[in-house]
Each structure stands twice: as structure tokens, then as C-alpha cells.
Amino acid sequence: MSLNASEFRDIDPGERILMGPGPSDVPRRVLQAMSAPCIGHLDPAFLAIMDETQQLLRFVFQTENAMTIPVSGTGSAGMETCFVNLVEPGDEVLVCVHGVFGTRMCDIVTRLGGELIRVDGEWGRAVDPQQVRDAVKGRRPKVLAVVHAETSTGVCQPLDDLAAISKETGALFLVDTVTSLGGMNVALDKMGIDAVYSGTQKCLSCPPGLSPISFSEAAQKALDDRKGPVVSWYLDMSMVKDYWGGDRKYHHTAPINMIYALREALRIVAEEGLETRFTRHRSNHLALVAGVEAMGLAMLVPENERLPMLNTVRIPEGAADLKVRQTLLKEFGLEVGGGLGALAGKVWRVGLMGHASTRRNVFVFLSALETILKTQGVKVNAGALEAAAAAYDAA
């Protein structure tokens, strides 16, 4: 087979404003960190970087958990890591489902031979804790799992009541923070979270490829007390922890340059400060919602259950979903996401994550969307930018 190498040009996808459900825009500092020389995964210089990365992760997760590491894989690998290490055949696992990613949790539980207790909520709403209380009555599930920030719907699930239910029943509290970490409060120790996973490409504004996880002492004990080995060799934290711990036992070759990138992304978070970062995400979210509603459009999620970093906007009558998104990308270089599952064709998912959560992006999106909708003949009200500006002034 012959191949003309000159036919393959340099990669240049062009500039984008990433306002979809992820990935988010990546700061230049993070990209520069990725380009540092690749060294060995047991090189003393890299081991020091690993220690610093763990220290920064504990800061962002607000935890003292010893097992706080980035798994080599995307957020879905983090999801699988938590379940395969904690769930064995016959274990009862309660999963709250109010979107696509809750259904993925259920799939993993059944594949592992766990006994699934599924609590379904309305897509676009938080799960009612009373449903969970009713489902666990007379039962002792090993794990209670929920998605904190459901990326498919834009819903923020309150955790206090679910954490209390977990404690009352003796269940480990497992939480998906893929979209929330770095954009809103995720305080593991204070919130009583036992097992957590996230992703690098959302509010941390790092390229996709790593999934930060953290296990409490109770979760670590559950792993140590397993009856049988973890079914996934690659994701077996009983071995991986020895590479990230003091023993430095080789398990697999770490993605060196991605660890560089994560360390730099976390350093940026620490420099900004958690509360300042959370406030920035919140204020940009409120301004975007004010502009959207001023146009006469509606949000999917009730105000008190909305995420600040992922906004689901109902598609107005007469608007062509795909054409609007394609025009945003082609004419404005701006990416937003469409609906998933039951919400396909019904909502746009507009991200304001990490480095992409800026006033400029809010104003660019509102202006672009208004222009496109008017071109399609959709009736929209004037004053979106003014409403957004007023929201900032009121903050």
C-alpha cells in the first residue's frame, strides 16, 4: 500500500468559542504546559509533578482523601472506575436517574451483576429525595449514586438530603461531578461524599483525557474488603493507588503531558480562588438567562434547580435546531450542543464552563442567536443585550 505523506496537512481546525456541553476553551498556559518535554513516568521530576497534581486536586475537591488521583481516561472512565471498584455481584445499588448520565450508571451496575434500585425523576428536574427514601425503605444498599450536574438537562441535584439518606442506610455516597467540579461548590468532606469522579474538559478547562476521582476512607475500606478482585484490571484502584502513593509501583504508563496540562489547569483554578470562580460562573449564567428570557425564549429547568455552567434553552417554535447550531458554528465560530435522548430537538445546551465562562461569550452568544433566529423568521423580542448588562450591574 502506497501513501503520499504530503497529502496530510498540518492540523489547524481554526478558532472556536466552545459554548457546548464540553469540551470548554483551554487557556494558552495549559496548552503550553502540554508541550513541555515528555519524560519517563518514573522520573523523579515527574513524580514530583504527580504529588503537586494530587495536592491541587485535593484543594479543588476540598478533601483530605489520600486516594485522590486522575484516572487515565475521560469522565466515563471515572464513572466506571467508581462502580467497578465498589460494586460486586449481588450488591444493592440505588441510582437516581434524571438524565442520560444516570442511565449510564444503571447500565454499569447491571453489567457488574449488581442489584439495581432505580429511582427515576423527570428530565429537567431534580430527583425528589422522598422518592429515594421510599425506595430504600427496608433495604441496605451498598451504594447510593447520583449525578450532581446532569449535563444532558442542565439540572443541579441538591446533595444534602441524599447524603443524609446514604448515612442513615449505611450506603456509600457516589457522585458524578463531571460538569460541576471547578464551577460550583464540590466539598467532598463537608458534603459527606464517599466516591466521586469528574472530567478535565468541563469547568477545569483542560483537554479531555483524564478523570479525577477521590475515595473516602469508607470507600477505600469497601475496596479493601472486596470478596473478589476488581473486574477491570486497568481501573483497579487497589493497584493504581500504589503507583500514585509512596510505593510508586508501576501499573501503566501515565499520560505524562496530560498530567502537565491538568496540573496547570488546577493551578489556574487555585490562583483565581474557588469562591471567586464560583461567583464568576454564577454571574455569567444569570446574565445569559436574563438575555434569553428578554428575547422571549424559555429555559427548561426551574430557576432554583439550574446549573450555572450548563444552560438548557427551549427551542422556540419555528426555529430549525440543527440549522441554528450549524450557523452559529459556521458564521460565528461558536459551538453549542443539541439535546440528548428525550430532549433531542427540544433544547439547546449552552455551556459557560471554566475559561469559556466570560461576559464576552455571553454577549456574543445572545447577539448571534438573536440574529440567526430573526433570519429564520422566528419572532424574538429586542433588548437581550441590555437585559444581560442589567443582570451584571445587579450582581
* Number of domains within the chain: 2
Q: What is the DSSP letter of 186?
A: -
Separation between Cα atoms, residue 72 and residue 197, nearest integer Å:
12
Q: How confident is the model at residue 230 (pLDDT cuts 50, 70, 90)?
A: very high
Do 329 and 335 touch, CB atoms closer than 8 A? yes
What are the CA-CA distances from residue 183 to residues 140, 203, 254, 305 (Å)?
33, 5, 26, 15
Query: What's the mean per-residue pLDDT of the chain?
Result: 97
Same domain assignment for residues 262 and 315 = no
Please tell me whether residues 135 and 184 are part of one structural domain. Answer: yes
pTM for this model (two decimals) = 0.96
Q: Are residues 35 and 109 in the same domain?
A: yes
- Do 234 and 359 lie in one domain? The reply is no
Q: List residues bridging with 174 in a β-sheet.
A: 145, 195
- What's the pLDDT tens digit per position in 359-368? 999 999 999 9
Query: In terms of domains, do 102 and 206 share one?
Result: yes
pLDDT of amino acid 2:
86
Band (184; pLDDT cuts 50, 70, 90): very high
How does residue 308 score in pLDDT terms, banded at 50, 70 and 90? Answer: very high
The Cα 223–Cα 142 span in angstroms is: 12
In-domain check, residue 226: yes
Residue 333 sits in the same domain as residue 215:
no
State the CATH number of the domain containing residue 325: 3.90.1150.10
Domain that holds residue 292: 274-394
18 inside domain: no
Mean pLDDT across the stretch 64-71? 97
In a domain, 2, yes or no: no
Do 239 and 259 share a structural domain? yes
Shared domain check, 111 and 82 = yes
Is the per-residue pLDDT at 115 higher than 80? Answer: yes
Same domain, 35 and 181: yes
Q: Band of the pLDDT at 16, cuts 50, 70, 90?
A: very high
Q: How confident is the model at residue 205 (pLDDT cuts 50, 70, 90)?
A: very high
The tens digit of pLDDT for each residue in 36-51 reads: 999 999 999 999 999 9
Residues 193 and 322 in one domain: no
pLDDT in tens, 246-275: 889 999 999 999 999 999 999 999 999 999
Distances (CA, A) of 127 to 157, 161, 192, 194, 340: 7, 11, 18, 20, 18
Which region, left, alpha or beta, applies to residue 388 given φ > 0 means left and ψ of -120 to 50 means alpha? alpha
- Gap between the Cα atoms of 237 and 215, Å rounded: 10
**pLDDT at residue 324 is higher than 90:** yes
Q: Are residues 252 and 350 in the same domain?
A: no
| Terminal-residue alpha carbon distance, the chain | 63
Beta-sheet pairing, 334-335 with 195-197? unpaired
**Separation CA 189–CA 128 (nearest Å):** 23
The pLDDT, as a whole number, for residue 146 is 98
pLDDT at 246: 85
Helix, strand, coil shares of the chain as percentages rounded to 5?
A: 45, 15, 40
The confidence score (pLDDT) of residue 247 equals 86
End residue of a domain, out of 271, 289, 310: 271
Residue of 29, 26, 20 lying closest to 209 (CA atoms)? 26
